[in-house]
Amino acid sequence: MTPSTFIARIVGPVLVVIGIGLLLEGETFRVMAGEFLRNSALIYFSGVAALATGLAILNLHQLWVRDWRVLVTIFGWLFLIGGIFRLLATSWVQQVGESLIAHQRWPIASAVVILVIGAFLSVKGYEHVWNETGRGSSRPSSAARTSGSTSRSAKPLRRKSSEPRSGSGHSS
């Protein structure tokens, strides 16, 4: 599994659940966000967590390519920058956050964006698993597909090597 896939498998479902929560309980999220923004310690702690998450993602994944994997890199940078701002500019984060949640459409607009990005990352992270299980047992395993004809030619060799050897005293 590539780092892109691994991170997408974590970030994608988390974003999907957050997006669904925002759609179903938008007003509750608005209240929680207000309580969060009034607590400088929570902002600071979330900054530490975001900074650490961003650094972890960027240390594993720093790809500037023209496909979906760049989204993982962008998330790493967003976590890193968001964490730095929360740690160094807590009062500014409070002001910006309060002006954001003051908008009536904030929960729904956020939910749609978060849900779409989360669903996309989830599909990209798990598409290989879904493709494998969706085709049934008639499809060869990934190891058999990649080895191709070499696995067929290796079978007779395995049978010969499994025969008892004389004088060695060891079994393999």
Q: Are 56 and 75 in contact (CB under 8 A)?
A: no
Predicted confidence (pLDDT) at residue 79 exceeds the cutoff of 90: yes
Indicate whether 92 belongs to any domain.
yes
Indicate whether 135 belongs to any domain.
no
Total number of domains in the chain = 1
The pLDDT of residue 118 is: 97
pTM: 0.71
The pLDDT of residue 135 is: 61
The pLDDT of residue 143 is: 46
Q: Are 49 and 83 in contact (CB under 8 A)?
A: yes
Nearest to 92 by CA among 42, 33, 34, 40: 40
**What number is the average pLDDT over the span 54-65?**
94
Indicate whether 152 belongs to any domain.
no
Indicate whether 81 belongs to any domain.
yes
Indicate whether 53 belongs to any domain.
yes
pLDDT one-digit tens code per residue, 138-158: 444 444 444 444 444 444 444
Indicate whether 138 belongs to any domain.
no
Mean pLDDT, rounded, of the chain: 83
Count the neighbouring beta carbons within 10 Å of the beta carbon of residue 160.
8
User: How far is 77 from 59, CA to CA, in rounded Å?
Assistant: 11
Angstrom CA distances, 78 to 58, 74, 132, 155, stand at 10, 6, 33, 51
**What number is the average pLDDT over the span 103-107?**
83
Indicate whether 169 belongs to any domain.
no
DSSP 67: S
Long-range own/partner contacts, residues 119-122 (CB < 8 A, 24 or more apart): 119/12, 119/16, 120/12, 120/68, 120/71, 121/8, 121/11, 121/12, 121/15, 121/68, 121/71, 121/72, 122/8, 122/9, 122/12, 122/13, 122/16
The pLDDT of residue 168 is: 45
Q: What are φ and ψ of residue 23, in 5° steps?
A: -70, -45
**Structural domain range at position 47:** 12-129
Indicate whether 24 belongs to any domain.
yes
